Copies of this chain bind each other. A is one copy, B any other.
Amino acid sequence: MNKENISKSVIRRLPRYYRFLSELEENDTERISSGKLAQIMRTTASQVRQDLNCFGGFGHQGYGYSVSKLKDEIAKILGLDNKFKAVLIGSGHIGTAIAAHMEFKKLGFELVGIFDNNQEILGEKINDLEINDEKNLESFCKDNNVEAAFLCVPKSAAADIVGRLYNCGVKNFWNFTHYYIQGDYPDATVENVHLSDILMTLCYSMNEAEENK
């Protein structure tokens, strides 16, 4: 399990394996070959075997892979059994959607606090969690051993908030803003979700498809 040097591209594929394996498990499929799995996922058998072997031989020659065992192994590799304590900052549209919608417990996290600076919505609840005043952020993070932050504030507020979090030891970010955390904090762990970037690439593809008609 402790193999090092797993490439980012492999890691990014693991959640997909996990999802398809979960579906197979629900359909009571007990075993699957790299070829079949590749077919379902529209990739190659080679890639499936190469990927899975980064972590050690989960398969059996002449048999394939045990669906449920493989699924569990991937969960372990991803660390989904963790309960990293996380806070969400900014309960606007995106923040509220994230807080209400994500099944954090299945994803290795536990959402323990929601913060906003809009006095009017303080005390409102999202999934049993009260919206907390942003000025309590530091004390809360220290008291509760918070390890990650989900950043859903406007870009103008992001640098300040990240700085404050970083100062109380929160160095892992799920970043929905366009603030460039890695630029200022190269050692932070960051996953960015730049929704508008993605929509722009859809625009490009549609544009291109039209030209090629």
A contact residues vs B (CB 8 Å cutoff) = 2, 11-12, 14-16, 18-19, 40, 42, 77-80, 82, 84, 92-94, 96-98, 100-104, 106-109, 147-148, 172, 174, 178, 182-183, 189, 191, 193-207, 209, 211
Known contacts being A97-B93, A101-B92, is A198 close to B207, with CB within 8 Å?
no
Do A78 and B211 touch (CB < 8 A)?
no
Do B195 and A193 touch (CB < 8 A)?
yes
Q: Within the oligomer, what is the number of copies of this chain?
A: 2
Do B42 and A82 touch (CB < 8 A)?
no
Do A183 and B42 touch (CB < 8 A)?
yes
A109 to B191, CA, bound (A): 26
Known pairs A42-B183, A78-B203, A109-B199 / 19 extra A-B pairs, C-beta < 8 Å: A14-B201, A14-B204, A19-B197, A40-B183, A77-B204, A78-B207, A82-B207, A84-B206, A93-B96, A93-B97, A94-B101, A96-B97, A98-B195, A102-B199, A103-B196, A107-B200, A108-B200, A108-B203, A172-B206
Q: Contacting A94 at CB < 8 Å: which of B97, B109, B200, B207?
A: B97
Known contacts being A92-B101, A93-B97, is A201 close to B207, with CB within 8 Å?
no
* Chain B positions within 8 Å of A148 at CB level: 202, 206
* Chain B positions within 8 Å of A92 at CB level: 101
* Chain B positions within 8 Å of A79 at CB level: 203-204, 206-207
A–B complex contacts, Cβ < 8 Å, 25 sampled? A14-B200, A15-B194, A15-B200, A16-B194, A16-B197, A18-B200, A40-B183, A78-B201, A78-B207, A79-B203, A79-B206, A84-B203, A94-B101, A102-B196, A104-B199, A108-B207, A109-B203, A147-B206, A148-B202, A172-B205, A174-B202, A189-B206, A191-B198, A191-B205, A193-B193
A199 to B101, CA, bound (A): 13
Looking across the interface, which residue of chain B has its beta carbon closest to that of A172? B206
Do B172 and A202 touch (CB < 8 A)?
yes
* Chain B positions within 8 Å of A16 at CB level: 194, 197
Do A2 and B211 touch (CB < 8 A)?
yes
